[in-house]
Amino acid sequence: MYQHKVLEAICKDEDLLLRDMVRDFVNDQIMPVRQQIDGDEDHVIVRQILQGLANLGFTKAIFPEKYGGSDMHSAVTLGLPLEEIARGDSGIAVALACCLWPFMPAIWAKNEAVLDYFGPIFCGDELKIGCFNMTEPGGSSGGGGCDIENPGMQGRRISTRAVLDGDQWVLNGQKIWATNSGIADAYLMVCTTDPGLGDDGIALIYVPGDAEGLSFGKFEKKAGMAADRNTTTYLEDVRVPKGFRLAGPGEDARYFHANLTIGRLASAAMSVGNAQGAFESVLDFTGGRAVGKVAKPIRDHSICAGMLADMAIGIETARMAYLSGAYRFDHPQEYGAIHSPEQLSMASIAKVYAADVAVMVTNRAMELMGSYGYVRDCDVEKYWRDCKIIQLWEGGAQLGRFDVCRAYYDLPL
């Protein structure tokens, strides 16, 4: 539908083949059961779908070939499948993305201790799940996501502490809202060795899912994104090897910022997939329902055609925004280091815009479908419920706008 020359210029042939393979998987494995996912409290359906994606190689895709992975690090290559999966269910898309997200920094930093331990585990045949823990409960001593994920704060509001004791790190603190928390086999914790050190105090430390001292609260009940499991994570004297810290003072902060950047690009891709799914649903609905004095299809009425046009404009431009940002991320020699304010700005433009588009598209789709758009038997209300949280995560829409500005001028905190 949207395979045009611009897309082909940005993407390699293998990227488009991968996208088409995932589209077939979504149509065959997700679309027939997507209405059952919200009631899948034990995540039986979700795990079956994730296992199917693991069988296709996605949960091990970014690991080096020596562990059985595919060395798939391109933001463009990874963005296209996430868009397609989100067209089926964006909760499944983020659950899959967060299996990969924690290990991107280890690959960039070439941390062999982490990769040697987790690589064989995640590159096996059985589904393994990852989790990247950033956000903490707010309050006088702790910062919410918008503080921890704000580069300008330099980690000063991180409360989860990491103390080196001989050849082990000892972790204490709480994390909230992380995707796959409570069910993951590996966690990447954003910690601080000393909040007064700023970026030099930021420590990214890997924790196995069965580590002693790691415990969890109840799963959150949300409006949507049922496939995305969230719970409070408690760390009480959790001990891990010294080598499970990512890279060291200063370096951990830079890789943290890079991970925020690629996370925003992935969020934009998922927003576009969500909007695309809603658009396809409403296009079909408005083509098959006749209204008005002359009883012509809804989409043939000029006011409705204008609404559909605005939706299509938003989707196509949002897609180009995230692919442009992903292309920049894949070419740091031309566009700046992956942790630079310029890269974060471009990714934030894509994320803020695409998330706004998804909210607009799902709202307009419901208006065009009337009461049918609001019922569970139709697809649109699920897209509507699922897409809003993308606008809110990774620090929220307004922090995203601050990060856009930081590439253009020195914006105070």
Residues 274 and 388 in one domain: yes
Beta-strand pair 168-175/233-241: antiparallel
pLDDT digits (tens, 9 = 90+) for 262-299: 999 999 999 999 999 999 999 999 998 888 777 899 99
Out of 221, 248, 275, pick the residue that ends a domain.
248
For residues 277 and 137, the model is more confident at 277
Residues 269 and 386 in one domain: yes
Single-letter code of the amino acid located at 132? F
Task: Judge whether 410 lies within some domain.
Answer: no
pLDDT at 4 over 70: no
**Cα distance between residue 89 and residue 96, in whole Å:** 11
Residues 272 and 233 in one domain: no
Out of 122, 141, 160, pick the residue that ends a domain.
122
Residues 269 and 243 in one domain: no
Range of the domain at 60: 5-122
| Helices of type H across 192-301 | 251-288
pLDDT at 141 over 70: no
- DSSP per-residue codes, 327-352: HHHH-HHHH--TTSHHHHHHHHHHHH
- What pLDDT was estimated at residue 2? 47
The Cβ of residue 72 has, within 10 Å, a number of other Cβ atoms equal to 16
Structural contact between residues 140 and 80, judged by C-beta atoms closer than 8 angstroms: no
Task: Judge whether 380 lies within some domain.
Answer: yes
Question: Domain containing 165 — which CATH number?
Answer: 2.40.110.10
Q: What is the pTM of this model?
A: 0.95
Q: Which helix (H) or strand (E) is 308 found in, with range? A: helix 302-330
Out of 90, 122, 154, pick the residue that ends a domain.
122
Task: Determine whether 344 is exposed, middle or buried from the number of CB atoms within 10 Å of its CB (0-12, 13-18, 19+).
Answer: buried
pLDDT at 344 over 80: yes
Residues 196 and 141 in one domain: yes
Beta strands in 130-232 (DSSP E): 130-133, 161-165, 168-175, 186-192, 202-208, 214-216
Structural contact between residues 72 and 225, judged by C-beta atoms closer than 8 angstroms: no
Residues 194 and 152 in one domain: yes
**Cα distance between residue 269 and residue 1, in whole Å:** 17
Residues 80 and 34 in one domain: yes
- Crossing angle between the packed helical segments 90-100 and 251-288, to the nearest 10 degrees: 160
Residues 109 and 151 in one domain: no
CA angle 363-320-23, nearest 5°?
75
CA-closest candidate to residue 277, choices 219, 371, 362, 150: 362
Which pair of tokens denotes residue 344?
Answer: 């974060």
- What pLDDT was estimated at residue 1? 47
